[in-house]
């Protein structure tokens, strides 16, 4: 049997929610990943260092006994964020980035940024203190086609912003299009991207396979096959600008299987195994470790992990659902098979 031993990976884009939902999902991530950037889109959002500190405490308290896992916090930027808050965040040692959600772009983004020009003072402070900017890169103008929102955002918002702040380090999150791949690979120093398992493994046909598939709905929405192929080729190329960010985004079954369902795919139950499948498909398993364990740590200027995990080329059936507080959670590949299995982890 093929066995793959990797430096313990990190997840550079993760939603863990709060309360009972947090307790239900955090063990999956802690079993695989040493650290994760925790997305701040709670209700209400994590807009201050004080809120991030309290949330970090709740995450640590929800870890299974003996787990070794470090939550890396991110602040939610709004039109009213004060540059002083950026200084507090940087000084905390536990906030590693701040995130732009264009207002209305996705789950719990109504408090998000209406016009990035309003953030110029905040971004200037981030640039000065070297706090990473994380970006949900979709234009929210309802007149823009949903499949074109990422390319239009890059042209109209992100490229000019990156020029106005030439030393600001930026992660374009969950890239989904050829435009994004080309932008990131060709951009100035200090620009990188996370890539999700769903955008590497599925195209938009997965939304409509035999009927409408709410559990494959996420934002940015899955794209056409040529975009998936470009993303896969890019990560297989081993660029240090691309790294692992699952965007695992749990929503209970009752909020997914309804007339107007939430965006988000839960993948933390197989948060490294799914990438092994993708890299294997691309014939690039030897590039998985850099993508999963090195590129993100280097970009965020954090030490690389020293422990290891072991994956075996062994197929297993994903449960139909997992407990999720009073609801249940339908994971990616529910009732189907995944071809890599986590077989060991050793924290250093």
Contact residues: ligand DOR, CB under 6 A: 15, 41, 106-107, 136, 218-219, 249, 263-264
């932008």: which residue's tokens? 183
How far is Cα 280 from Cα 286, in angstroms, rounded to an integer?
9
Please state the closest distance from residue 194 (CB atom) to Zn ion, in A. 9
CB 272 within 8 A of CB 342: yes
Residue 33 C-beta: closest distance to ligand DOR, Å = 18
Containing 135, the helix (H) or strand (E) segment is: strand 132-135
107's contact among ligand DOR, Zn ion, none, with CB below 5 to 8 A by partner kind, is: ligand DOR
C-alpha distances (whole Å) from 264 to each of 15, 137, 218, 348 are 9, 16, 4, 33
With CB cut-offs between 5 and 8 Å by kind, which of Zn ion, ligand DOR, none does residue 218 bind? ligand DOR
Residue 231's binding partner among Zn ion, ligand DOR, none (Cβ under 5 to 8 angstroms by kind) is none
Choose one: 91-99, 149-157, 190-198, 241-249; the region binding Zn ion (CB under 5 A): 241-249
Closer CB to Zn ion, 11 or 127, in the complex = 11
Find the shortest distance in angstroms from Cβ 241 to ligand DOR: 20
Candidate residues 85, 247, 273, 277; the one interacting with Zn ion per rule CB under 5 A? 247
**138 binding Zn ion? (CB under 5 A):** no
Token digits for 324? Answer: 């999720």
Please identify the residue of the shown chain whose CB is closest to the bound Zn ion. Answer: 247
Kindly state the smallest distance separating residue 347's Cβ from Zn ion, in Å: 26
The binder of 264, among ligand DOR, Zn ion, none, by C-beta within 5 to 8 A per type, is ligand DOR
Residue 267 CA to its chain's centroid (Å): 11
CB 102 within 8 A of CB 135: no
Using the minimum distance from each CB to ligand DOR, give the nearer residue, 31 or 263: 263
- Rg over alpha carbons for the chain, rounded to the nearest Å, is 19
| Residues 33, 29: Cα–Cα separation, whole Å | 6
Whether the CB-CB separation of 293 and 306 falls below 8 Å is answered with: no
Is 41 or 48 the residue whose CB approaches Zn ion more closely? 41
Note whether 150 binds Zn ion by CB under 5 A.
no
Task: For ligand DOR, give the closer residue by CB, 106 or 305.
Answer: 106
Let me know if 18 is a catalytic residue: no
Cβ–Cβ contacts within 10 Å for residue 284, how many? 17
Strand (E) or helix (H) holding 228: helix 225-236
For residue 175, the minimal CB distance to ligand DOR (Å) is 12
| Contact predicate 191/242, CB 8 Å | no
DSSP 150-208: HHHHIIIIIHHHHHHSTT--EEE-S--SHHHHHHHHHSPTTEEEEE-HHHHH--GGGGS
Residue tagged active-site, from 141, 247, 298, 327:
247
Judged by beta carbon, residue 56 or residue 215, the one nearer ligand DOR is: 215
Please identify, using beta-carbon distances, which residue of 164 and 213 lies nearer to ligand DOR. 213
Q: How far is the CB of 247 from ligand DOR (least distance, A)?
A: 6
Instruction: Enumerate binding residues for Zn ion (CB under 5 A).
Output: 247
Task: Point out the residues that are catalytic.
Answer: 247
């Amino acid at each position: 049997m093929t066995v793959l031993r990797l430096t313990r990976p990190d997840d550079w884009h993760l939603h863990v929610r709060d309360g009972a939902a947090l307790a239900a999902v955090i063990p999956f991530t802690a079993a695989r990943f040493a650290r994760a950037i925790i997305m701040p889109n709670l209700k209400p959002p994590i807009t201050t260092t004080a809120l991030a500190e309290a949330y970090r405490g709740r995450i640590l308290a929800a870890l299974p006994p003996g787990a070794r896992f470090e939550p890396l916090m991110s602040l939610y930027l709004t039109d009213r964020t004060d540059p002083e808050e950026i200084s507090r965040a940087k000084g905390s040692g536990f906030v590693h980035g701040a995130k732009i959600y264009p207002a209305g772009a996705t789950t719990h983004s109504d408090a998000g940024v209406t016009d990035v020009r309003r953030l110029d003072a905040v971004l200037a402070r981030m640039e000065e203190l070297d706090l990473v900017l994380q970006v949900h890169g979709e234009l929210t103008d309802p007149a823009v086609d949903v499949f074109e929102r990422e390319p239009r955002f890059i042209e109209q918002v992100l490229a000019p912003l990156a020029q106005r702040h030439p030393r600001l380090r930026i992660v374009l999150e969950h890239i989904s299009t050829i435009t994004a791949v080309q932008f990131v690979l060709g951009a100035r120093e200090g620009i990188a991207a996370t890539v999700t398992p769903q955008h590497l493994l599925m195209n938009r046909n997965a939304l409509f396979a035999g009927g409408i598939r709410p559990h494959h709905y996420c934002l940015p929405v899955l794209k056409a096959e040529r975009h998936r192929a470009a993303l896969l080729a890019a990560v297989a190329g081993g660029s240090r600008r691309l790294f692992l960010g699952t965007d695992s985004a749990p929503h209970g079954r009752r909020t997914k299987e309804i007339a107007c369902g939430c965006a988000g795919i839960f993948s933390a139950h197989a948060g490294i195994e799914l990438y092994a499948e993708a890299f294997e498909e691309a014939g690039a398993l030897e590039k998985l470790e850099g993508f999963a364990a090195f590129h993100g740590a280097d970009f965020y200027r954090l030490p690389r992990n020293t422990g290891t995990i072991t994956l075996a080329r062994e197929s297993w059936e994903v449960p139909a659902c997992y407990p999720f507080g009073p609801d249940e959670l339908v994971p990616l590949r529910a009732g189907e098979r995944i071809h890599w299995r986590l077989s060991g982890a050793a924290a250093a």
